[in-house]
Amino acid sequence: IGQPLSLLLKNSTLVSRLTLYDIAHTPGVAADLSHIETRANVKGYLGPEQLPDCLKGCDVVVIPAGVPRKPGMTRDDLFNTNATIVATLAAACAQHCPEAMICVIANPVNSTIPITSEVFKKHGVYNPSKIFGVTTLDIVRANTFVAELKNLDPARVNVPVIGGHAGKTIIPLISQCTPKVDFPQDQLTTLTGRIQEAGTEVVKAKAGAGSATLSMAYAGARFVFSLVDAMNGKEGVVECSFVKSQETDCTYFSTPLLLGKKGIEKNLGIGKVSSFEEKMI
């Protein structure tokens, strides 16, 4: 995800400085990106000793690190490897850019967000308004699939997706879709299942060559651009994200959020849902 995501970020006028970090071949990717005729200044950092320099002065940190799924794996199977990677990166962020917005893409997001939060607490710099689990791909997929079924322009469709970012925790609120759409129950059940298992659809189609990287990079960029717009003072920016929440009995839960200069301005909650959606919740 990192390479296509960095290309999308480099392509944006919102980004003034783009620093890339990995444990392999980052300087080459940075050199390649740096030739693109947009304002973002690009620099690559390689290995743990360069991580502090990479993070110093960052306003937003995006963490797509970790291993992807292979056929037959669930997102939870990634836990041991990715949890360690995310915890290490979160600790570095807590030390070197404690005020930054932290956007975690690394799966399982349902677990990597609690881990990131605990690491920030341990360092005494925890601010729940600034730690986001990026679930945007679920919304992007829901918009696309609804648009296909109803012959609409997907750019004009908006389906809130709440809950978590894996299997049955992914809850598309099709009853809240704009524009309003209606589906018979059997079609609604199939559509909901497809949104929940869309990641697995890609894992299977790639047959061992990884998971969703291009659509995830797009979704990650969409979330980052919304967040930066809000940080720059744009009003009325709403995105769903998996965050610390009082909306349900779950400690963390994804709902539509009003974003602002300091991160989450207001949690907009679940809103009115259908009985089918209520059951899933």
181-232 pLDDT, tens per residue?
999 999 999 999 999 999 999 989 999 888 999 999 999 999 999 999 999 9
Residues making up the annotated binding site for substrate are 69, 75, 107, 141
Share of the chain above pLDDT 70, in %: 100
3-state secondary structure of 104: strand
Residues making up the annotated binding site are 22, 69, 75, 82, 105-107, 141, 216
- The confidence score (pLDDT) of residue 17 equals 99
The residue-averaged pLDDT of 160-178 equals 98
- The confidence score (pLDDT) of residue 151 equals 98
Q: Is the pTM of this model over 0.85?
A: yes
- Amino acid letter for position 255: T
Strands (E), the chain: 17-22, 41-46, 60-63, 101-104, 131-133, 161-163, 170-172, 237-244, 252-260, 263-267
Least confident of 79-83, 147-151, 153-157, 177-181: 79-83
Residue 68 has pLDDT above 90, yes or no: no
Would you state the structure tokens that stand for residue 150, as one six-digit string? 């109803």
User: To the nearest whole number, what is the mean pLDDT of the chain?
Assistant: 97
The answer to whether residues 240 and 270 touch, using CB atoms and an 8 Å cutoff, is no
- What is the C-alpha to C-alpha distance for residues 111 and 198, in angstroms, rounded to an integer? 20
The answer to whether residues 62 and 221 touch, using CB atoms and an 8 Å cutoff, is no
Confidence of residue 74 (pLDDT cuts 50, 70, 90): confident
Confidence of residue 275 (pLDDT cuts 50, 70, 90): very high
CATH numeric code, 2-133: 3.40.50.720
Residue 38 has pLDDT above 90, yes or no: yes
Nearest Cα to 243, choosing from 225, 226, 224, 264?
264
Residue 149 has pLDDT above 90, yes or no: yes
Residue 165: active-site member: yes
What phi-psi label fits residue 269: left (phi over 0), alpha (psi between -120 and 50 degrees) or beta? left
Residues making up the annotated binding site for NAD(+) are 22, 82, 105-107, 216
